[in-house]
Structure 1
Amino acid sequence: MLLGLGIVLGVAGIGFLCWLLLLCAVYAAPLFVAAMVCTMLYDHAMMSGAHAVLAGIGAGIMVLVLGQAILASTRNPVLRITVSLLLALPAALAGFGMTLGFSGLGDMGAIPAYIFATFGALCVGGAAWTRLCAIQLA
């Protein structure tokens, strides 16, 4: 009884985390930029901790707004595809890491784990790219 409940709750928890990853995949690139700016400014002693965090948040917001503004204002398909792919690539990397971590929870070999992680990266990156391409012109 308890074993069955644990299995059901475990599958539901993994399903919830996958849904959350697909929902938030569009914001992977701004989060990555924010983390990199914050780390760079703090590690090189350019700013204190709070100032580096605020600068990182500002850089992430700027990437998000700039990317969505380009997608919402341009008609050039090459530029739209390029910006969408640049914003979806970090989402695909996050999907790869998350599915590789999920496959590490079980007793899976290395080759099937990487195949599963590649499939997860394609799914998450594809979902992010689809959501970004759906942004219509203003």
Structure 2
Amino acid sequence: MLLGLGIVLGFASIGFLCWLLFLCAVYAAPLFVAAMVYTMLYDHGVLSGAHAVFTGIAAAILVLAFGQAILASSRDPALRVAVSALLALPAALAGFGTTLGFSGMGDMGTIPAYLFATFGALCVGGAAWARLCAIQPA
């Protein structure tokens, strides 16, 4: 009874985390930019902790706003593909890391784990790409 409940809840929790990953994959690029700006400013002693955090958040907001503004206003397919690719690439990297972590919970070899993680990266990156390409130009 409890073993079955544990298995069902384990699958439900992994399913929930995968759903959350697919939902938030579009925001991987702004989060990556925020982390890089914060790290650069704080590690080099340019700003203190709180100021570096707020600067990173501002940089993430700018990346998200400019990316969505370009996708919403541009009719040029090459520009839309380039911006979508730049915003979807960090989502694919996040999908790779997440599925590699999920496959590490089980008893899986190294090669199958990396193959599974590559498939996960393609799925998450493709989902982010599809959500970004769904933004119609005005």
Smaller-chain TM-score bracket: over 0.9
The aligned counterpart of 2:97 is 97
> Which residue of structure 2 lines up, in the alignment, with residue 127 of structure 1?
127
Q: Residue 119 of structure 1: CA displacement?
A: 0.5
**In the alignment, residue 53 of structure 2 is paired with which amino acid?**
V
CA distance in 1, matches of 2:92, 2:33: 15
TM-score for both structures, normalised by structure 2: 0.99
Which whole-Å CA distance do the structure 2 matches of 1:16 and 1:40 have between them?
33
CA distance in 2, matches of 1:118, 1:75: 32
TM-score scaled by structure 1?
A: 0.99
User: Secondary structure of 2:117's partner?
Assistant: helix
Q: How many Å separate the matches in 1 of 2:21 and 2:105? A: 17
Letter in 1 for 2:77: P
Deviant stretches of 4+, over 2 Å: none
Q: Deviations over 1:48-97 (max 9, x none)?
A: 10000000000000000000000001110000000000000000000000
User: What letter is aligned with 1:40?
Assistant: M
Is 1:39 equivalent to 2:23 in the alignment?
A: no
Gaps in structure 1 of 5+ consecutive residues = none
* Aligned: 1:16 with 2:16: yes
Tell me the distance in 2 between the aligned counterparts of 1:52 and 1:20: 27
2:81 counterpart SS class: helix
Matches within 5 A, 1:110-125: 110-125=110-125
Give RMSD over aligned pairs. Answer: 0.4
Q: Displacement, 1:133?
A: 0.3
Matched with 1:84 is: 84
**2:66 partner amino acid:** L
- What amino acid is the match of 1:101? G
User: How far apart, in 1, do the equivalents of 2:43 and 2:8 lie?
Assistant: 44
Deviation at 1:137, TM superposition (A): 1.0
Residue 122 of structure 1 aligns to which amino acid in structure 2?
A: L
Question: C-alpha displacement at 1:116, in angstroms?
Answer: 0.4
Q: Percent identity?
A: 81
Question: 2: CA distance between counterparts of 1:134 and 1:69?
Answer: 13
Answer yes or no: is 1:51 the counterpart of 2:51: yes
